[in-house]
Amino acid sequence: MISREDIEGLAALSRLKLTDAEIANLQKDISDIVGYVEAVSQVEIPSAVGADGPAHAAASIAPQHRNIMREDVLRTGESAARLAGKEEQVRAAFPTRQGDFNVVRKIIQKDE
């Protein structure tokens, strides 16, 4: 079974605060689930697939595996119009707002 320390480490990486009871449950659940999905690591994949790493696999056909780039220019036309003028709605969603600013915690501190 996955250790308590491992779960705490994953929780820290995931930026999640967990209760003691939840950690205990996750130790069991994650061990069960990982035990099941581990089957995939035993699969023999033909060298033509993924031999150069997954990113290169069939880049020509599967849209979801293709890197799609666009020019770094301002949008124009209909798609630009659909996004224009929404600044105030975005600001309205700020958890703590001051004027047009989103108030966040000071993260640079003086050395002590």
Partner 1 sequence: METSLAHLSITEAAKKLKVKEITALDLARACLVEIEKRNKSLNAYLEVYTDVEAQAKVADAKRAQNEKEGKASHPLLGIPLALKDNILVEGRVASAASKMLEHYTATYDATVIKKLKDAGAVFLGRTNMDEFALGSTTENSAFGVTRNPHDETRTAGGTSGGSAVAVASGMALGALGTDTGGSVRAPSSFCGVVGLKPTYGAVSRFGLIAAVSSFDQAGPLARTVEDAELLFTTIRGEDALDSTSISETEYPARTAPKKIGVPVSLIAQGLDADVRVRFDAALVQLTKAGIPWEPIELPTLSVALATYYITNFAEVSSNLARFDGIRYGLSQKGETLFDDYATSRAAGFGAETRRRIILGTYVLSAGYYDAFYGKATAAREQLRREFVEIFKKVDIIATPTMPCPATTIGEKSDPLSMYLMDIFTVTANLTGNPALTVPMGTVTRDGKNLPVGMQFTAAHGDESGLFAIGKLLVL
Nearer to partner 1, 72 or 107 (CB): 107
Q: How far is the CB of 26 from partner 1 (least distance, A)?
A: 6
d(CA 70, CA 80) in angstroms, rounded, equals 14
Residues 3 and 38: their CA atoms lie apart, in Å, by: 18
Q: Among 25, 53, 103, which residue's Cα sits nearest to residue 7?
A: 25
Residues engaged in binding partner 1 (CB under 8 A): 7, 10-18, 22, 26, 29-30, 32-34, 36-41, 43, 45-46, 49-50, 53-54, 57-58, 61-65, 68, 70, 75, 77-79, 82-83, 86, 89-90, 92-96, 102, 104-105, 107
